[in-house]
Amino acid sequence: MLSLVCLFLFGMGGYMIVEERSPVEALYLTIGTLTTVAPFELSNGGRIFAILLIIFGFGLVASTAALLGNMFLDGNTLELYRRRKVRKKLKNFTDHYVVCGHGQVGQIVTAELLQSSLPLVVIDNDESAILQCKELGVAHLRRDAMEEDSLKEAGVERAKGLISVVNRDADNVFIVLTARALNPDMSIFARASSKGVEKKLFRAGANYVVSPYASAALRITQNILRPTITDFLDSTISGKEIELAIEELEIPETATFVGKSMMDANIRNEFDLIIVAIKRADGTRIYNPSSLELIHAGDTLIFVGPQTNIDQFIEKIHGKGWNSKNKTIVPQCEN
């Protein structure tokens, strides 16, 4: 392209000197000569200059046109534009989740996060996985999640959490180690397929480690020993079959019942919610709290009840814009 610009400048300068034309007329003559589409009335000197310009410049023009045509035909330019658009979009992401790997486990995680309206970015280098992300409308990067640049491009330094669920345990350990170095404050969830990998993942910086095989074995055992309890908990957590739901909520300082006892808070009578546990700010857990137990700011209440009652309770504490699923304020639309 730079050579093409220099060629136009050379042609303009030649016509301005030989034919004594203005810059606009000289540019017109240069383009017409190189494209051979416009006849001109030139002097003998101008005709000789035009012949030299065609001999030395026509090949450059043809090769440049062929290069631009190939760029558009093979889709490289469109793909480059899409990548730049995704990168620009990711720069605005904050408090999001980065999912490393879009295999069987990653697809389930992505679907659940989407259902909860949580912002997320998927990193995978498999073409079929990227196509699935495009169909779902999920922000994605076709990169290797083990590369530090890939995690930076996904905004891991501004992320709220990272989920590493690639197939190889060694890759998960490396991803967790790199992500923890980039963002010491975010929550990291990792998958462990082999026995003994859990300790390595915790040492690398993971906050939560899940083994699909151990979880499946425990789930089968619980279905055998306690089928009714298992079905009840599954229905409560998913909220798909019954109206009853289980939820957790951190109590802010602005709550009216901060510093009061469970009895004085009157949560059970006013909202028909059962407080099953309290998690203090220091991590202490109180199960089946008594009516005299005090509620402090920063406590996390775990309660069970109808979903409509839960929404009313959350609305009283945080207002109408609060989303219980992602613990964020949802903008309200004006009519």
Q: What is the pLDDT of residue 98?
A: 95
* Weakest mean pLDDT among 25-29, 65-69, 125-129: 65-69
* CATH number listed for the domain at residues 93-215: 3.40.50.720
**Per CATH, is 2-73 categorized as 1.10.20.10?**
no
Percent of the chain with pLDDT over 90: 33
What average pLDDT does this structure show over 56-60?
78
Rounded Cα–Cα distance for residues 191 and 201 (Å)? 9
Task: For the chain, give every domain's residue range.
Answer: 2-73, 93-215, 226-329
Residue with tokens 């959350």: 314
What average pLDDT does this structure show over 275-303?
92
Q: What is the pLDDT of residue 200?
A: 93
Residue with tokens 């599954």: 234
Which helix (H) or strand (E) segment is 115 a member of? helix 104-115
- For 81-131, the pLDDT digits (tens) are 666 777 777 778 888 999 999 998 999 999 989 888 889 999 999 989 988
What average pLDDT does this structure show over 216-226?
82
Strand 300-306 to 274-279 pairing: antiparallel
Model pTM score: 0.61
- Name the CATH superfamily for 226-329: Regulator of K+ conductance, C-terminal domain (3.30.70.1450)
